[in-house]
Structure 1
Amino acid sequence: DDWMPVPEVTDANIMVAWNLIGLLGEACELIELWARDEQPDPAQWAYELGDAFWYPTALATQKGLRLADVLAGNVAKLEERYPDGFSSEASRNREGGAR
């Protein structure tokens, strides 16, 4: 099918896929932690967040990016998008629409 390009299978692409799938798995573990009836202690949150942060860090490294630069770029984008600070209303009514 020509409807969707298929990335070339390389070691680098396999590692990108591995890290994306790993991030998804860790996000599921965070959802499970949040969904429990009891209140998890901060150490449990730290443990799972540490696992989850591993994958974006690995992806940034694979792409030759510094995680600090990625985060700084995101902060700059959000400050420009929401100069008066984030609100649900500002998100719904921002120029260009919500994405």
Structure 2
Amino acid sequence: MQSLFQILMLILDVVWFLVIAHVIMSWLINFQVLNLHQQFVAQIWYGLNRLMEPIYGPVRRILPPMQGLDLAPLVVLLGVFALRIILTNNAAFFY
């Protein structure tokens, strides 16, 4: 059971990293530090979008429209953090 706990924590760590990478890359694209006309940058961006959209989609449906401000990554990060706290506090269940 300890392996299950470690796998769940690893998955949450990967999701955390992907959300942070997606947010930072969106800022760099919006501030024109990165250019989507470069093939490598475009492939990474579209790959991250395809990975994150199934996670962001349900959150965006729940959140009210914010006039260009996307709070879905923040809500996902808070959800991941909350899940980590829940799993850590209940770690005895996995042993």
Q: TM-score, normalised by structure 1?
A: 0.38
- Say which one has the larger Rg: 1
Where relative contact order (Cα < 8 A, 6+ residues apart) is larger, the structure is: 2
Which one has the bigger helix percentage? 2
Q: TM-score, normalised by structure 2?
A: 0.39
